[in-house]
Amino acid sequence: MKILFFGDIDGKIGRKAVAKILPRWQKKYRPDIIIANADNVTHGRGMNQKHFDYLSELGIDIFTAGDHTLERKEAEALLNSSEIVVLRPFNLEGDFPGRGEAIFSIRKKKLLVISLLGRVFMDEPVNNPFQAIDSILDKYKSSEYDLAIVDLHAEATSEKHAFAWYVDGRVNAVFGTHTHVQTADERILPKGTAAISDVGFCGAIDSVIGVDKKEIINHFLTGKNFVLKIPEFGPAQVNGVLVEFGKNKLAKKIKRLQEKVIIK
């Protein structure tokens, strides 16, 4: 089985870039299931129904989440729908709509997909992701599924590295997201778990992690708040990871993917 995972899709330029690249990658790599992080899909903050429909029609099967997922008014309806394959972070403190984990049946395969937030350098009040994964795996220990996949949306590579080691052999893949910068540390751990600290993002190259570079430079120069302005046109990159699993369900190959396109 092959799983293709896209890093954070950021704004209009990110959506258009994925629309250009996805058919090419489908033909070249022939993934069985496609997953994407949807934390920044709609103007950089969460995802609305329109953009969910658009990306689903492109071929994305499941969407994971992050710290901006619940910022849109329509988030509750999207997350609460049993027919929509969108998760929110499992370990948010408090009572929130939607699910943070679920078993999805896609093309005769059953995937346990888990969305978690890290704690290091993150502002959101969240429960310990290490303890959270233990509770989830205990909950599903008698369930039948083909693979367990985790999106750990976190800032620190140290936290993501430690988490991957902690779950080695207990989940099949750990995809780090959030920093928007693809890391060159993809690997298969000794007990068969594929891991990468950050898949990267799908968005504007001439930016600071997706946001208008002038806004961010001025923020660092003056300390003033910046406007979340995302370039809509120009050079863009699409970052992803392809993992192939053997019959024993252990990862046997992990390949970091990146391609650049011009969005007009």
Q: What is the pLDDT of residues 68-100, one digit of tens each?
A: 988 888 888 889 887 789 999 999 998 889 999
The answer to whether residue 68 is catalytic is: yes
* pLDDT average, residue stretch 13-35: 98
pTM comes to 0.96
* pLDDT average, residue stretch 233-255: 97
Beta strand extents in 81-146 (DSSP E only):
101-106, 109-117
**Model pLDDT, residue 124:** 81
What domains can be seen in the chain, in order of their start residue? 2-205+234-263 (3.60.21.10)
Contact predicate 174/193, CB 8 Å: yes
DSSP H or E run through 9: strand 8-9
**Model pLDDT, residue 185:** 98
Alpha carbon of 145 to those of 27, 42, 141, 192: distances in Å? 27, 31, 10, 17
Q: d(Cα 264, Cα 238) in Å, to the nearest integer?
A: 16
* pLDDT average, residue stretch 233-252: 96
Name the DSSP class of 141: T
**Model pLDDT, residue 81:** 84
Q: d(Cα 88, Cα 79) in Å, to the nearest integer?
A: 7
Alpha helices for 74-200 (secondary structure H): 75-80, 129-139, 157-167
Any idea which residue has 């928007």 for tokens?
180
Q: Exactly one of 51, 68, 153, 178 is catalytic; which is it? A: 68
Share the mean pLDDT of the chain: 96
Q: Which of 78-87, 103-112, 175-184 has the lowest mean pLDDT?
A: 78-87
Q: d(Cα 200, Cα 8) in Å, to the nearest integer?
A: 7
* pLDDT average, residue stretch 209-232: 96
